[in-house]
Amino acid sequence: MIADRWGVTDGEVAHRYPCDDVVHNPALQAWRGVTVRATADRIWPWVAQIRIAPYSYDWIDNLGRRSPRTLLGLPEATVGEPFTTAFGGRPAGRIVSVEPGVQLTGTIMGAVMSYVLVPSADDTTRLLLKLVMARSPVAPQLLCLGDLVMVRKQLKTLAQLAESR
């Protein structure tokens, strides 16, 4: 499928993600990834902070409200709490699995998303995201293209923030 992969290797696609335990026979799967020039412990607080802001195109996802560019010292994420906020700060989705410093998985708008950190020996980290859906409310191609644009921006923004601090 066009746009189902961006920035990931075949090995990363073959990897099992926490979202796979939630949706067993997905109608849609998409993988995204970036290499971050920072250790996982520097990236994790930014990933965990998506609970309060989307870090994508704020004028679309957040009604123009800018995602924070500083860490807010949030407590660790917990299962059951809102996964993110969107559309001007309204809670959206819920966290279904979390392993601090390793992965954050949540549901939003029918999708299940797993953010996974994979440290490397050279103090870089792969920030990977897998999105699955049991059924797609729109054509899977269209959904993948839209997701690609938004998540690409999100992952690049999180990487820049982690690298700059």
The whole-number pLDDT of residue 72 equals 93
Here the tokens at position 63 are: 């009604």
Cα separation, 63 vs 130, in Å, equals 25
Integer-rounded Cα Rg, in Å, for the chain is: 15
DSSP character at residue 129:
E
The whole-number pLDDT of residue 129 equals 96
DSSP character at residue 18:
G
Q: How many CB atoms lie within 10 A of CB 159?
A: 19
Cα separation, 116 vs 112, in Å, equals 13
Domain ranges, ordered by start, for the chain: 5-164
Phi-psi region of 144 (alpha: psi -120 to 50; beta: other; left: phi over 0): alpha
Question: pLDDT truncated to tens, each residue of the chain (165 aa)?
Answer: 567 899 999 999 999 999 999 999 998 899 999 999 999 999 999 999 999 887 876 666 655 677 778 999 999 999 999 998 876 677 889 999 999 999 999 998 888 999 999 999 899 999 999 999 887 655 444 454 456 567 888 999 999 999 996
CATH number for 5-164 (one of 3.30.830.10, 3.30.70.2740, 3.30.530.20, 3.90.550.10): it is 3.30.530.20
